[in-house]
Structure 1
Amino acid sequence: MLAAATNAPNTIDPVALRRALGTFVTGVTIITTRDADGAPRGMTANSFTSVSLDPPLLLVCVGKGAHSFAAFNSSPAFAVNLLHEGQIDVSNLFASKAANKFDTVSHDRIHTGSPVLTDCLTWFDCTVHRRVNAGDHVVLIGEIQAFGTSPSPPLGFCRGRYANVKDPLPPGWLASHGMIVGYLIEADGHLLLRSDGKGGWVLPTAMRRIADNELKLDGGDALTLVPDDTFLYSVFDVSDGDPGYLIYRARLAQDVSSAPLSAGLKFFPVDQLPYDQIPTREISAMLRRYVRESASKRFGIYMDSNDGGRLAMVGEAQPWALPPQS
């Protein structure tokens, strides 16, 4: 039987409450941002949840007593990195007060400039949509600007200890959610294409994101790119089927003549691209747009949709820079 309501204040045992809340099984995340000086900051957190798909929102809760609280409370952007089951050591590192957490953890800039771990289960790169003061925490609601995921098993957490997740990848999940990540790699007015082995040419692709300015292409080639000069260019499906495409623009950090390329890779002058040998209509159309925009130095970001897509013109690409702090 429920006790009758009274006007007396309700006393909650914080230790017992923490244990009760800890029975909810969660994943483990590393939330990251940059402080006013541009230095990377990060901490372990499991108070994470999705909020909305339209617009794409998520939230994390940051304790006001956290060492990195000031950075998260003032930065216009942050990233959420979900950990896989092989990253207990990374979780413990970012839960500590170590001064140089990022020295031994590979990370990259994707969209906002917040550090994104190059090895993790899933990442979300966000701008701050809203901050909500909530007791001894601040709720950060982020609008997702970019994200990526992998088929790795997640790292779980329950009752104050790490937990394994049984059957983390249901049959068919990877095939229906995979994305091909392609690159428009520029160098001296040339664009890099890869032979498809059937007499055609396609964009080079990469399984992993850039680490230390090096891009490891599918097939084994490794290219060094210009720092802070890689930008999302196009997101689309092909013939309404999976997988879809994420296309990034990037710039080679060396001359075309000195780039170490295998036999299947070739740089073409942008005004001599072999459109008639590109087997995918959507890729060919995207390349024609790229050539037009390269000539005018006015680039856009294309997002596919069922009503024809959206093209947002953003001008000539500039490295991401956080606004000055007041």
Structure 2
Amino acid sequence: MLATAPATAAPIDPVALRRAFGTFVTGVTVITTRDADGRPRGMTANSFTSVSLDPPLLLVCVGKGASSFPAFQAADAFAVNLLHEAQADVSGLFASKAADKFSAVGHDRAHTGAPVLTDCLTWFDCSVHDRVDAGDHAILIGRVRAFGTSPSAPLGFCRGRYAAVKDPPPPDWLASLGMIVGYLVEAEGSLLLCRDREGGWGLPRAPRRIAEGRLPVAGGGSLALVPDDTFLYSVFDVADGDPGYLIYRARLAQPPPRASLPEGLRFFPLDRLPYDEIPTQEVRAMLRRYVREAAGGRFGIYVDSHEGGRVAMVGDPEPWSRQPQP
């Protein structure tokens, strides 16, 4: 039964109001940014919603009393990390006043430089689109620059407690997550390619975004990459039914002698890439763009769209800077 509002408004009890707000089932997020000194800052929040698809916008509400509020208020970028069902401890950590929150969780960067948790349900990397003052909170509206997701179950929250969400995602949704993760590995003006099953050439692949800095190769070996020099380069679908591609630029920690490369791997000079032996048209187009940008020393991030795709020019990214924790 719905309550009827009285003719004369009575004072609102903030404790009762908070409990009423808390009956709305939400997910749990960790929002992250960097302060003026480049140090990662983060806090737990469940006031999150999508706003728009065109342009791609979302919002989070940041309490003005939070210790990280000044960092979010001044930052030009932030990330929203949705937690999965096994991350109640991560939620508790970022809700605490711990001084070294990021030492216990893996984090990386995708586009803006804001910390992105390497283990989470879904992440959104955003530039700040707008800020709105709203009482004891600030509404932070972000424009999504990159995102990623997984089929894990979400961590829910309701009535002040964590809640389980047992329904699995629909099968057609799971199929859309089968991205091929490829790596553009350049050394001394040459690009590393690998033989595919049909005898053509393609990019080295990994089952997911590399977090340990080692690129697996055929035969059970691996190549060491410089983890702080790995950057998102291109996200695109293909016309022949493949699940789509997520491409990163990377650099070998110590380029091996050409003769000692594992079987099936070969470095090709950038001006002599075997385009005719690369079967996927979209990969060939991506490699031609890479060669042009490498010649100019200025790279972009390509994201496929119904309009044919868009490139955001970002220059040659600075290496990841390790900063002391606050």
TM-score by length of 1: 0.88
| Aligned counterparts of 2:31 and 2:72: Cα–Cα separation in 1 | 9
What corresponds to 2:134 in structure 1? 134
| Aligned counterparts of 1:178 and 1:202: Cα–Cα separation in 2 | 18
What corresponds to 1:288 in structure 2? 288
Deviation at 1:201, TM superposition (A): 1.5
What corresponds to 2:195 in structure 1? 195
User: 5, 9, 33: which one pairs with 2:7?
Assistant: 5
| Aligned counterparts of 1:5 and 1:77: Cα–Cα separation in 2 | 45
| Aligned counterparts of 1:87 and 1:315: Cα–Cα separation in 2 | 35
Contact 1:187-1:254 within 8 A present in 2 as well: no
RMSD, aligned CA: 2.5
Q: Does 2:103 align with 1:103?
A: yes
Deviation at 1:254, TM superposition (A): 2.1
Deviation at 1:177, TM superposition (A): 4.0
Matches within 5 A, 1:247-286: 247-257=247-257, 262-286=262-286
Deviation at 1:216, TM superposition (A): 4.0
Deviation at 1:111, TM superposition (A): 1.1
| Aligned counterparts of 1:221 and 1:53: Cα–Cα separation in 2 | 42
Q: Taking every aligned residue pair, what percent have the same amino acid on both sides? A: 74
Contact 1:193-1:268 within 8 A present in 2 as well: yes
Change (3 A) 1:161 1:262: farther
| Aligned counterparts of 1:221 and 1:118: Cα–Cα separation in 2 | 23
Runs of 5+ consecutive residues of structure 2 not aligned to the other structure: 322-326
| Aligned counterparts of 1:105 and 1:4: Cα–Cα separation in 2 | 49
Say which SS state the counterpart of residue 66 (structure 1) adopts. Answer: coil
State the AA in 2 paired with 1:131: R
Contact 1:207-1:218 within 8 A present in 2 as well: no
Change (3 A) 1:126 1:221: farther
Say which SS state the counterpart of residue 152 (structure 1) adopts. Answer: coil
What corresponds to 1:44 in structure 2? 44
Q: Does 2:121 align with 1:115?
A: no
Deviation at 1:119, TM superposition (A): 0.6
Q: Cα deviations across residues 163-220 of structure 1 (Å, max 9, x unaligned)?
A: 11122322221113432222211111121222212211211223333436x1444766
Say which SS state the counterpart of residue 156 (structure 1) adopts. Answer: strand
| Aligned counterparts of 1:167 and 1:284: Cα–Cα separation in 2 | 40
| Aligned counterparts of 1:205 and 1:44: Cα–Cα separation in 2 | 34
Runs of 5+ consecutive residues of structure 1 not aligned to the other structure: 322-326
| Aligned counterparts of 1:144 and 1:215: Cα–Cα separation in 2 | 28
| Aligned counterparts of 2:241 and 2:23: Cα–Cα separation in 1 | 40
Larger displacement relative to structure 2 (292-301 or 18-27) = 292-301
What corresponds to 1:165 in structure 2? 165
What corresponds to 2:73 in structure 1? 73
Aligned residues: 318
Q: Cα deviations across residues 24-48 of structure 1 (Å, max 9, x unaligned)?
A: 1111111111111111111111111
Change (3 A) 1:303 1:106: closer
| Aligned counterparts of 1:102 and 1:259: Cα–Cα separation in 2 | 41
Deviation at 1:157, TM superposition (A): 0.9
What corresponds to 1:324 in structure 2? none
State the AA in 1 paired with 2:51: V
Change (3 A) 1:259 1:24: farther
What corresponds to 1:17 in structure 2? 17
What corresponds to 1:245 in structure 2? 245
| Aligned counterparts of 1:79 and 1:304: Cα–Cα separation in 2 | 21
| Aligned counterparts of 1:37 and 1:209: Cα–Cα separation in 2 | 27
State the AA in 1 paired with 2:239: S
Say which SS state the counterpart of residue 205 (structure 2) adopts. Answer: coil
Say which SS state the counterpart of residue 44 (structure 1) adopts. Answer: strand
Change (3 A) 1:76 1:279: same
TM-score by length of 2: 0.88
State the AA in 2 paired with 1:169: P
State the AA in 2 paired with 1:304: D
Change (3 A) 1:24 1:261: farther
Change (3 A) 1:184 1:25: same
| Aligned counterparts of 1:259 and 1:140: Cα–Cα separation in 2 | 53
Q: Cα deviations across residues 119-161 of structure 1 (Å, max 9, x unaligned)?
A: 1111011111111111111111111111011111111111111
What corresponds to 1:125 in structure 2? 125
| Aligned counterparts of 2:171 and 2:303: Cα–Cα separation in 1 | 28
Q: Cα deviations across residues 44-73 of structure 1 (Å, max 9, x unaligned)?
A: 111111011111111111111111111111
State the AA in 2 paired with 1:116: V
Deviation at 1:307, TM superposition (A): 4.1
Say which SS state the counterpart of residue 243 (structure 1) adopts. Answer: coil
